[in-house]
């Protein structure tokens, strides 16, 4: 049989190099099951009718996850329960100061009109007090997508996020809704790792017409938007291409508007694209077809099925994406777990519930909130 060499590894030596097995087991469990308190089918576990009379005073603000110029999204605890939900609340004072009353009302009405899906949470209720106007959402959010994109993603993880977005955009487009918010800074993740669309300030209901408003995140604007030609639903597929590029490359395909907005817009209009040689041929083909300057030949312009049938998405169970049974890649769950463990309360805070503002009465735009 030949010579056999036996090596002895003591528990002490193993622990000194690798760490205790119990700790390793705990870390692995935490990475895989950190969201066990939030069931995958969370939306179905709540009786929506029970929220009809909820007031902001019934919600305990836990922490802010992200903020915009006049709103913030955070986690709230329903008093006398263990239900952790998400609240989008607008500062009345800031909304009025920015003259955003019409925009906020439009966003609220659009969100209430949408049917909930795997990536579009249900609006449980809307409520307001003297300081804030809020939209309560049936989801337990974790962070903006940008928070876990500090380094590039592997293709399976980027594919999962892209598939989730395609499913969401398919439902929106079916109802004539142009989203214009496909951006790592706008998209949110729930604590299971699924993308959640909770920011519809750029959304618009179309009735077959083109819209001419230059609207959305500058890095993700389609050529037809920056050129002022008017745009429609294909603009969302361009933005999907920008996001996939960013997830795989770690940078925007046409530079950052923060450095030079005009230079970025010029590159967008020309479709100047440089693709990494490390990408799979399928990924290169997908990005080339999504980031097509001509919106009429852009992948997705003839409907979402052309995107779903692209070879890069082979192996995606679209039904599993829609019912949230498709497994979230380990890379994503690990990054969210790390983000939550290192989370600090750095989000800007609006006026507290107990503070008063100059105007004691609700402004007119809140009459039907």
Residue 135 lies in a domain: yes
Residues 223 and 269 occupy one common structural domain: yes
What pLDDT tens digit does each residue of the chain (369 aa) get? 455 444 444 445 434 433 444 443 444 444 444 433 444 444 454 677 888 889 999 999 999 999 999 999 999 999 888 889 999 999 999 999 999 999 999 999 999 999 999 999 999 999 999 999 999 999 999 999 999 999 999 999 999 999 999 999 999 999 999 999 999 999 999 999 999 999 999 999 999 889 999 999 999 999 999 999 999 999 999 999 999 999 999 999 998 877 778 889 999 999 989 999 999 999 999 999 999 999 999 999 999 999 999 999 999 999 999 999 999 999 999 999 999 987 655 553 333 333 334 444 566 767 778
Residues 121 and 249 occupy one common structural domain: no
Residue 248 lies in a domain: yes
Residue 1 lies in a domain: no
3-state helix, strand, coil in the chain (%, to 5): 40, 15, 45
Which residue range(s) make up the domain with 87? 44-140+345-363
Residue 285 lies in a domain: yes
Nearest Cα neighbor of 175 from 200, 203, 206, 211 is 206
* DSSP H helical ranges for 34-134: 92-98, 101-113
Residue 179 lies in a domain: yes
CATH number of the domain enclosing 269: 1.10.510.10
Residues 97 and 198 occupy one common structural domain: no
- How many C-beta atoms lie closer than 10 Å to residue 279's C-beta? 17
Residues 157 and 272 occupy one common structural domain: yes
Q: At what angle do helices 155-174 and 330-341 cross, to 10 degrees?
A: 90
CATH number of the domain enclosing 126: 3.30.200.20
**Whether 71 contacts 89, CB under 8 Å:** yes
C-alpha separations of 282 from 75, 156, 311 in Å: 38, 12, 6
Residues 228 and 319 occupy one common structural domain: yes
Structure tokens belonging to residue 172: 């929106």
Residue 358 lies in a domain: yes
**Whether 329 contacts 148, CB under 8 Å:** no
Residues 237 and 351 occupy one common structural domain: no
Q: How far apart are CA 176 and CA 206, in angstroms?
A: 5
| Domain count across the chain | 2
Residues 172 and 121 occupy one common structural domain: no
Residues 247 and 264 occupy one common structural domain: yes
**Whether 307 contacts 316, CB under 8 Å:** no
Residue 35 lies in a domain: no
Residues 168 and 192 occupy one common structural domain: yes
pTM of the predicted protein model: 0.84
Residues 308 and 358 occupy one common structural domain: no
Nearest Cα neighbor of 63 from 351, 354, 348 is 348
Residue 16 lies in a domain: no
Q: How far apart are CA 91 and CA 130, in angstroms?
A: 10
Residue 45 DSSP symbol: G
Residues 273 and 322 occupy one common structural domain: yes
The per-residue pLDDT for 367 is 72
Residues 197 and 313 occupy one common structural domain: yes
């Amino acid at each position: 049989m030949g010579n056999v060499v036996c090596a002895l590894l003591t528990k002490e030596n193993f622990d000194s190099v690798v760490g205790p097995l119990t700790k390793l087991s705990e870390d692995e469990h935490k990475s895989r099951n950190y969201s066990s308190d939030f069931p995958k089918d969370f939306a179905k576990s709540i009786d929506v009718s029970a929220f009809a009379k909820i007031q902001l005073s019934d919600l305990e603000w836990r922490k802010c996850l992200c903020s915009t110029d006049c709103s913030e999204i955070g986690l709230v605890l329903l008093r006398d329960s263990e239900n952790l939900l998400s609240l989008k609340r607008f500062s009345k004072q800031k909304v009025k100061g920015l003259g955003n009353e019409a925009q906020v009302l439009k966003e609220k009405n659009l969100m209430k009109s949408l049917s909930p899906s795997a990536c579009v949470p249900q609006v449980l209720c809307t409520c307001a007090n003297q300081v804030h106007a809020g939209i309560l959402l049936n989801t337990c959010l974790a962070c903006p997508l940008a928070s876990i994109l500090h380094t590039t993603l592997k293709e399976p993880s980027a594919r999962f996020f892209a598939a989730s977005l395609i499913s969401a955009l398919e439902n929106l487009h079916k109802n004539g809704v142009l989203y214009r918010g496909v951006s790592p800074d706008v998209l949110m993740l729930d604590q299971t790792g699924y993308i959640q669309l909770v920011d519809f300030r750029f959304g618009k209901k179309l009735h077959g017409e083109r819209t001419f408003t230059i609207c959305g995140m500058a890095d993700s604007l389609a050529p037809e938007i920056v050129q002022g030609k008017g745009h429609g639903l294909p603009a969302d597929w361009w933005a999907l291409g920008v996001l996939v590029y960013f997830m795989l490359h770690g940078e925007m395909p046409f530079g950052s508007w923060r450095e030079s907005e005009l230079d970025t817009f010029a590159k967008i209009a020309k479709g100047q694209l440089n693709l990494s040689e490390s990408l799979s041929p399928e990924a290169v083909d997908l990005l080339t077809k999504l980031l097509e300057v001509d919106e009429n030949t852009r992948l997705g312009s003839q409907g979402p099925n052309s995107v779903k049938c692209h070879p890069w998405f082979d192996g995606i169970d679209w039904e599993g994406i829609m019912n949230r049974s498709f497994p979230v890649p380990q890379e994503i769950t690990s990054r969210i777990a790390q983000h939550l463990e290192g989370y600090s309360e750095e989000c800007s805070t609006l006026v507290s519930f107990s503070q008063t503002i100059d105007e004691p009465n609700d402004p007119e735009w809140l009459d039907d909130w």
